[in-house]
Amino acid sequence: MKMSGQSVISSFAKPPTDLQYVVDNEIKEWHFHIYFHQNNTQEHSEALQLRDAVLRLRRDGAFIAVPLFRVNTGPIGPHPVGSYEVWCPAETFASVFSYLSMYRGNLSVLIHPLTRDQKRDHESRAAWLGQPYPLDTSKLPVRSEDIPSQYHSLQLGYAAQPSLTLDQRRKLGENVEHILTKEKEAAKAPPRD
């Protein structure tokens, strides 16, 4: 790629399409970090009310989300202000994301996956609800031997058994493609190689 007479190197890597590879590397667990300015009593109170609401909704079956017991009243790790962590398995990610999108108020929420690449998870794989905060990721490991999986007793996330085989996934995909042939605005999948 050239820009204004200068050579620019693209950092884009071709996305993988091998089904086995993609399934084996799917993100299964996430963290939501709810941020509040530690010297702002209103924000601190709102953050704790949101935490209590998440706990009530988990108890009532709306989703599975596990706030860490500890609420950090000041900067800790890469997080520059008061915060607390909410673990979420992929199985209920959409429900937790939806709830926090709708009811976080003015609080900022860092969302990142849990993989072996903790530094990248907090930098280039992270997303924000609300205003982003600068993180200090200098002390995070670049790569860990193990995925920092949590709450194995729930048998969710990385501890879950696969719900579909590769053949079942292929059949599901073929069925979706067949149904979408009647939808004029839906992009069609390219033919198999």
Per-residue pLDDT of the chain (193 residues; tens, 9 = 90+): 444 445 555 567 899 999 999 999 999 999 999 999 999 999 999 999 999 999 999 999 999 999 999 999 999 999 999 999 999 999 999 999 999 999 999 999 999 999 999 999 999 999 999 999 999 999 999 999 998 899 999 999 999 988 899 999 999 999 999 999 999 999 989 888 7
pLDDT at position 11 is: 65
Q: How far apart are CA 90 and CA 115, in angstroms?
A: 13
Provide the residue count of the chain: 193
Cβ pair 33, 110 in contact under 8 A: yes
pLDDT at position 118 is: 94
Q: Which of 100, 96, 109 is nearest to 34 (CA)?
A: 109
For 103, residues 6+ apart whose C-beta sits below 8 A from its C-beta are 50, 53
24-to-19, 143, 191 alpha-carbon distances in Å: 8, 18, 23
Cβ pair 85, 67 in contact under 8 A: yes
Whole-model pTM: value is 0.88
SS3 content of the chain, % helix, strand, coil (to 5): 35, 20, 50
Backbone phi, then psi, for 46, in 5-degree steps? -65, -40
Which DSSP category does 66 fall into?
A: E
